[in-house]
Amino acid sequence: MQASQLKPLNVGADVHDKLCAMLRGSQFFGDFPEGELDLLAKHVVACTVDSGGTVFREGDRGGFMCLLIEGAADLFKQDRSFGSQRIARIEAGMTVGEMALVDGEPRSATCVCSQASVWIMLSRENFVRIIRESPSLSVNIMLKIVMLMSRHLRQTSGQLVDVLEDRAAARGRS
């Protein structure tokens, strides 16, 4: 990731309160108890990315997950035949980079902002701190991540079946 594309958000003297409000308003963290949001706000950073800016690139070492507060972004995946293909649209309230938070492996896609965007970022290092300081908060975060990854896997499995059926139908016509 090019650091110049990710700029810390100047949220003033009441940074903590604004971070709590952003987290509370998100679909990912919005149902967490107030005390957990307060603790989580101490471990996240708000950043902005200009339209066209890259949040992370496919192959970059993963080290954080992001929650989109405002704006929009697209996820792109390189393929051997057609180059870069858009695989998902990210809108306010959605997260990206959950796998990197869990496994620290290289990014599986590139995230590019299609609009000026505000993100909240949780680093893997701070997530490990949360695990040590607040097991209940870390369990709630992990449950959200597992449910999200399960939903994505189910969608991907459905798309794979559609592609396989299309291929089988195309072979039957030839």
pLDDT score for 137: 96
Residue ranges of domains in the chain, CATH in brackets: 3-173 (2.60.120.10)
User: Which band of pLDDT confidence, cut at 50, 70 and 90, is reported for residue 11?
Assistant: low
The answer to whether residues 58 and 77 touch, using CB atoms and an 8 Å cutoff, is yes
Confidence label for 7 from pLDDT (cuts 50, 70 and 90): confident
pLDDT digits (tens, 9 = 90+) for 43-80: 999 999 999 999 999 999 888 999 999 999 999 999 88
Percentage of the chain beyond pLDDT 70 is: 95
Instruction: Answer whether residue 146 shows pLDDT above 80.
Output: yes
129 pLDDT exceeds 80?
yes
Q: Give the separation between CA 147 and CA 52, rounded to whole angstroms.
A: 30
Indicate the pTM of the whole model: 0.83
What contacts 70, CB < 8 A, 6 or more positions away?
92, 117, 118
The residue with greater pLDDT, 98 or 83, is 98
pLDDT of residue 13: 64
Strands of 95-96's sheet in order across: 7-8, 44-49, 117-123, 64-70, 95-96
